[in-house]
A and B are shown apart, each in its own frame.
Chain A
Amino acid sequence: MPAATAIRSALDWGSLAPLKLRSRLVAEGVYAGAHRSARRGAGVEFGGHRAYTPGDDLRWLDRRSLLLHDRLLVRQFETETDRALRLVVDATASMGYRGSRAPGAKLAWAALAAAALARIAVGSGDPVGLTYLGGGETTRNVPVAGGREVFERILGSLEASQAGGDARTDLSVLDRGLGGIARAARRGSIVVVFSDLLDLPEGAADRIAAIASHGRVLVVAQLLDPDEVDFPFGGTVRLRSLEGGVVVETDAETTRAAYQDRLASLTSDWERAMTARGARLVRAVTNGDPVRAVREIVQAAR
């Protein structure tokens, strides 16, 4: 287990807890004025089967398949899959970082935004799924599903999430998280990726941007801690990255401007990659207003 993961065994929620309450408040703030478009899962065109997940609406359980194949399958319809919201939360070690001025860790903030989006989607009758990039042992993906139960499952998953894993050294982290989405997400699906984009491996921008193909909507929300934006340190500092094992001793005043330039350059590169594939990049700082950030994501997803 990497050291960073061991240190961040528990997520620093800070003032962002309790997630359920906070996410509802955020969602209500975003939802105000939007029209409701519940589908209730009733579809016209059969869209195939998928494995049953506890919490699925039993009305769509395919009893024939159960009798024929002894497997629990759920019938899907086009109307359900078209607007499915797939939340991808980067839970690698770097997302566990919380600076001195942030209300909580970046992962906590991502969880809040993701929960709010899930509530909005559930409120609109859209199915929601949750996938992690990396994460600790207690981190569990939530398959795409509709109904109020899925929101609870997503909340439970987010609340149990831990930051862990090193995407820079373990390239399979990205494959495990994004592979399933690239295969399963259908046209019209909305994929929202929450990540700081700091420690992802080379080529990650292109691979994530590739999700935006086949009529899928991709929104990448870059979450940064205020300290990562301002680099507020002074004097000689010794900094250790949470992923990749980089240790740097530097004079903060001397290197601040260069750091900010490199951060801006990184963000710019991601923005270019997203724009090229029709995806959107939304930037958020964890000490900012989550309502506003979620609203921007929603608007970017339209």
Chain B
Amino acid sequence: MTFVYALALAVGLFVIAPYLAHRLRRRRAEEREFAAARLVDPAPPRARSRSKLEDRALFATRAVAVVGLALLGASPLVRCSRLSLARSSGASVAMAIVLDDSMSMRASLAGSSGIAKLGSLTRFERARDGARQLLASTREGDAVAVVLAGKPARVALAATAELGAARAAIDAATASDRGTDLDGAIAMARGLLSEMPQVDKRVIVLSDLADGHPDASPVGKDSDLPIWIPLPELRAPATDCGILSADRAGPRIRVRVVCSLGTPTIGREVAIFTGKAVVAHEALGTSRTEDVSLELSQDDARKTDLVPLYARLSGSDSIPADDIAPVVVEAGPGSVAVVSDPEDEATATGGAPVVEQAFSALELDVAARPLPAVPDRVEDLTPFLGVIVDDPPGFTPEERRTLGAFVEGGGAVLLALGPHAASAPLGASLEPIVPHAVTWEPTSSRGVDAKTAASLFIESAGSGADLDASRRTVFAAEDLHLLKSLLKWTDGAPLLARRTLGRGEAWIATLPFSVEASDLPLRPLFLALLDAWALDARARTSPKRTEAGVPWSFPGARSVEAEGPEGVALVSHDGPEPKIVPSVLGLYRLTIDGKKEARVVAPAEAEIDLRSRAAAESTSGKDVGDSRAAVDASPVLALGLLVLMALELALRLWARTRQAAI
């Protein structure tokens, strides 16, 4: 038995002794014989009750005082698990704290069961506490940088000697549902420290190391700077299942559920609900990735047509946040408005318009809806994914306004220019897409230059090598700088170009979609053009589902408002365009220049895999830090003892006053 054990026993006895003394004193009075007991009155109950109360209050006060005394005496021996910096040389330290704020850090520290318990700390909260403890062990002259490892890794605080700013940065960090960019964060931290004058530099990683790559190389291996990965409890095994997506097409809802390895799924089910009513539910399978299909009844489908639906995973696991997801209505087989001269189409093909035939061949689920002219009202274009205008004879003022509003609001336009566009009547122009008049000129250039193809057309550009056209549209010299080329003729003139207008984009072809003008519609390049444009149009108009942390930018938007699961989302105007970085899962309702749209933030699949990466042996921190520290609680204890002493005096005074009154 060591001296400390003996001392601990003595302190324990010291604490228990008053209690035992009290119990002995409080024991039932010893019964004794007394012949004249019949003449003795029982004590008045009030007096007995008062005595008990007084005794208990005094006893409690004394017991607490004795415990306080014991703690005061033992405080030099008291050590608790706190992170602190080790200083082998005593010099100032530059440390970068990598605080992981990814979704996996939302897992609770509930132990091996992996089940979240109400009130238990999450990994992120423990990591943030650890960061605070580290800051508490810093001294004047130390420098601290804070890097957040949620994807994308970002600097919360550049290296500074202002410890108050470091504390504020740690306090401001909140849990998020981002993915993990651990390597990026460590590299960033290393970069922040590289220019610091301190000789002693360290990177401290407060993370569960669960970045979705459990088999990747150990974290911190071959690092030129010391890396310390404390808090092994963050890497305790945990289980989680999350909903990656929930899409609705008519009455059918498809829910994709992913579980981390070893997560029990028996007894869990996916339920679709609106408000508090469950409208469909289906048991979850046993595989790690499950696509659960649910079908609403006709009544429910009709009732919930305009009501937001949510998919919920029953049961509990380490991360409750990803057990619920909003159901997104799929864009479905959208349609494209095609404005062309029907007579030309019919004459040339003898059947369906060439664009309609192309969409049919591409199997894009995009229907071509012919329109005789560009509508005068922008509302008439709202149902369409985009508008294809084939060789228009200019636009009337109403058409210009409609197209302008449509494109600037985020719409997509594909404009093919030909002989009609070049011979626009007086008062008609191609604005706002092409500001100046174009000309329809003969060309000797044959084919396209595949080297000038944008990435979208790299594969298909070869099919235009011998493109045959006797004439082509030529832009005014003033307009060329507005256009970004996608593909050029061999003489350098643009065949395909695009121009950004507000939040939308217009793609321009210098040949019309008529087989009489060129053989472009007969070439794979034409199909590639329609395919790429349709995908771009669908991406612009359909509800978006992105992973947490992926920024949403709104080029050209004048006003952007967003409301997310945690209230109003912050819109950043730092860059050239408004930007929102959603970091929490759920449904976001956006209002962009008065136009409303809904977007959904879904978890990254890698975040649901809670398996941790290995940590290099050198990161155990024997030389760079300590997880135990002495705690000097004596001032608080001494103050508490003074208060207790005053309380006992007050109690005694009160008891004496009461006794005197009786």
Binding site for B on A (CB under 8 A): 4, 7, 94-95, 97, 106, 196, 198-199, 225, 227-228, 231, 235-244, 246-251, 254-255, 258-259, 262-263, 266
Are A4 and B33 within 8 A (Cβ)? yes
Are A262 and B39 within 8 A (Cβ)? yes
Are B31 and A199 within 8 A (Cβ)? no
Are A239 and B43 within 8 A (Cβ)? no
Are B31 and A259 within 8 A (Cβ)? no
In the bound complex, what is the Cα–Cα distance between A106 and B43 (angstroms)?
28
Beta-carbon nearest neighbor of B31 in chain A? A238
Beta-carbon nearest neighbor of A4 in chain B? B33
Are B47 and A251 within 8 A (Cβ)? yes
Ordered by A's residue number, 18 sampled pairs between the chains whose C-beta atoms are within 8 Å are A97-B35, A198-B35, A199-B35, A236-B29, A237-B29, A237-B30, A238-B30, A239-B32, A239-B33, A239-B37, A241-B34, A248-B40, A249-B42, A251-B48, A255-B40, A255-B42, A259-B40, A263-B36
Shortest 4 CB-CB contacts between residues of A and residues of B: A241-B37, A94-B35, A239-B34, A239-B37
Chain B residues within 8 Å of A225, by CB: 35
**Is B267 close to A, CB under 8 A?**
no
- Contact string, B105-145, partner A, CB cutoff 8 A, digits 1/0? 00000000000000000000000000000000000000000
**Is B38 close to A, CB under 8 A?**
yes
Are B31 and A240 within 8 A (Cβ)? yes
Interface residues of B in 38-72 (CB under 8 A from A): 38-44, 47-48, 51
Chain B residues within 8 Å of A250, by CB: 40-43
Chain A CB count within 10 A is highest, among B30, B38, B48, B51, for B38
**Is B28 close to A, CB under 8 A?**
yes
Chain B residues within 8 Å of A238, by CB: 28-32
Chain A residues within 8 Å of B30, by CB: 237-238
Nearest Cβ in chain A — how far from B142, in angstroms? 64
- Contact string, B144-156, partner A, CB cutoff 8 A, digits 1/0? 0000000000000
In the bound complex, what is the Cα–Cα distance between A95 and B28 (angstroms)?
27
Are B29 and A97 within 8 A (Cβ)? no
Chain A residues within 8 Å of B35, by CB: 94-95, 97, 106, 196, 198-199, 225, 228, 241-243
Nearest Cβ in chain B — how far from A8, in angstroms? 9
Residue from A7, A227, A244, A249 in contact with B38 in the complex, judged by beta carbons closer than 8 Å = A244
Residue from B39, B42, B44, B48 in contact with A266 in the complex, judged by beta carbons closer than 8 Å = B39
Chain B residues within 8 Å of A106, by CB: 35
In the bound complex, what is the Cα–Cα distance between A249 and B32 (angstroms)?
10
Beta-carbon nearest neighbor of A265 in chain B? B39
CB contact under 8 A between A198 and B36, given known A248-B42, A250-B41: yes
Residue from A242, A254, A263 in contact with B43 in the complex, judged by beta carbons closer than 8 Å = A254
In the bound complex, what is the Cα–Cα distance between A33 and B32 (angstroms)?
45
In the bound complex, what is the Cα–Cα distance between A244 and B34 (angstroms)?
12
Beta-carbon nearest neighbor of A263 in chain B? B39
In the bound complex, what is the Cα–Cα distance between A85 and B538 (angstroms)?
133
Chain A residues within 8 Å of B41, by CB: 248, 250, 255, 258-259
Binding site for A on B (CB under 8 A): 28-44, 47-48, 51
In the bound complex, what is the Cα–Cα distance between A241 and B37 (angstroms)?
5
10 additional A-B residue pairs with CB within 8 Å, beyond A4-B33, A246-B37, A255-B43:
A94-B35, A196-B35, A227-B34, A238-B30, A240-B33, A241-B35, A242-B35, A247-B31, A254-B44, A263-B39
CB contact under 8 A between A241 and B38, given known A251-B43, A255-B43: yes
Residue from B32, B39, B47 in contact with A259 in the complex, judged by beta carbons closer than 8 Å = B39
Chain B residues within 8 Å of A244, by CB: 38
Are A97 and B34 within 8 A (Cβ)? yes
Residue from B29, B36, B47, B51 in contact with A249 in the complex, judged by beta carbons closer than 8 Å = B29
Nearest Cβ in chain B — how far from A73, in angstroms? 42
Chain A residues within 8 Å of B36, by CB: 196, 198, 228, 241, 259, 263
Chain A residues within 8 Å of B32, by CB: 237-240
Chain A residues within 8 Å of B31, by CB: 238-240, 247
In the bound complex, what is the Cα–Cα distance between A254 and B44 (angstroms)?
9
Chain A CB count within 10 A is highest, among B38, B39, B43, B44, for B39
In the bound complex, what is the Cα–Cα distance between A146 and B39 (angstroms)?
41
In the bound complex, what is the Cα–Cα distance between A13 and B148 (angstroms)?
93
In the bound complex, what is the Cα–Cα distance between A243 and B36 (angstroms)?
9
Nearest Cβ in chain A — how far from B495, in angstroms? 110
Chain A residues within 8 Å of B43, by CB: 236, 249-251, 254-255
Chain B residues within 8 Å of A248, by CB: 37, 40-42
In the bound complex, what is the Cα–Cα distance between A231 and B41 (angstroms)?
12
Chain A residues within 8 Å of B33, by CB: 4, 7, 97, 239-242
In the bound complex, what is the Cα–Cα distance between A241 and B44 (angstroms)?
20
Chain B residues within 8 Å of A243, by CB: 35
Nearest Cβ in chain B — how far from A230, in angstroms? 11
Nearest Cβ in chain B — how far from A32, in angstroms? 34
In the bound complex, what is the Cα–Cα distance between A241 and B51 (angstroms)?
26
In the bound complex, what is the Cα–Cα distance between A237 and B51 (angstroms)?
14
In the bound complex, what is the Cα–Cα distance between A241 and B36 (angstroms)?
6
Chain B residues within 8 Å of A227, by CB: 34
Beta-carbon nearest neighbor of A258 in chain B? B41
In the bound complex, what is the Cα–Cα distance between A238 and B43 (angstroms)?
10
Nearest Cβ in chain B — how far from A169, in angstroms? 12
In the bound complex, what is the Cα–Cα distance between A258 and B41 (angstroms)?
8
In the bound complex, what is the Cα–Cα distance between A244 and B35 (angstroms)?
10
Nearest Cβ in chain B — how far from A166, in angstroms? 12
In the bound complex, what is the Cα–Cα distance between A204 and B37 (angstroms)?
19
CB contact under 8 A between A198 and B39, given known A227-B34, A236-B29: yes
In the bound complex, what is the Cα–Cα distance between A13 and B516 (angstroms)?
146
In the bound complex, what is the Cα–Cα distance between A196 and B34 (angstroms)?
12
Nearest Cβ in chain B — how far from A283, in angstroms? 14
In the bound complex, what is the Cα–Cα distance between A94 and B39 (angstroms)?
13
Are A254 and B38 within 8 A (Cβ)? no
In the bound complex, what is the Cα–Cα distance between A238 and B40 (angstroms)?
10
Nearest Cβ in chain B — how far from A142, in angstroms? 25
Nearest Cβ in chain A — how far from B56, in angstroms? 15
CB contact under 8 A between A240 and B40, given known A249-B29, A251-B47, A251-B48: no
In the bound complex, what is the Cα–Cα distance between A235 and B39 (angstroms)?
18
In the bound complex, what is the Cα–Cα distance between A266 and B48 (angstroms)?
28
In the bound complex, what is the Cα–Cα distance between A244 and B48 (angstroms)?
25
In the bound complex, what is the Cα–Cα distance between A226 and B31 (angstroms)?
19
In the bound complex, what is the Cα–Cα distance between A258 and B48 (angstroms)?
17
In the bound complex, what is the Cα–Cα distance between A239 and B31 (angstroms)?
6
Chain A residues within 8 Å of B34, by CB: 97, 227-228, 239-241
Nearest Cβ in chain A — how far from B35, in angstroms? 4
Beta-carbon nearest neighbor of A94 in chain B? B35
In the bound complex, what is the Cα–Cα distance between A237 and B33 (angstroms)?
10
In the bound complex, what is the Cα–Cα distance between A280 and B33 (angstroms)?
30
Chain B residues within 8 Å of A231, by CB: 40
Beta-carbon nearest neighbor of A243 in chain B? B35
Chain A CB count within 10 A is highest, among B30, B41, B47, for B41
Chain B CB count within 10 A is highest, among A196, A227, A241, for A241
Beta-carbon nearest neighbor of A255 in chain B? B41
Are B37 and A240 within 8 A (Cβ)? yes
Chain A residues within 8 Å of B48, by CB: 251
Nearest Cβ in chain A — how far from B612, in angstroms? 64
Chain B residues within 8 Å of A94, by CB: 35
Beta-carbon nearest neighbor of B662 in chain A? A254
In the bound complex, what is the Cα–Cα distance between A80 and B606 (angstroms)?
124
Chain A residues within 8 Å of B42, by CB: 248-250, 255
Nearest Cβ in chain A — how far from B28, in angstroms? 7
In the bound complex, what is the Cα–Cα distance between A160 and B316 (angstroms)?
85
Chain A residues within 8 Å of B51, by CB: 251
Nearest Cβ in chain A — how far from B606, in angstroms? 72
Nearest Cβ in chain B — how far from A7, in angstroms? 8
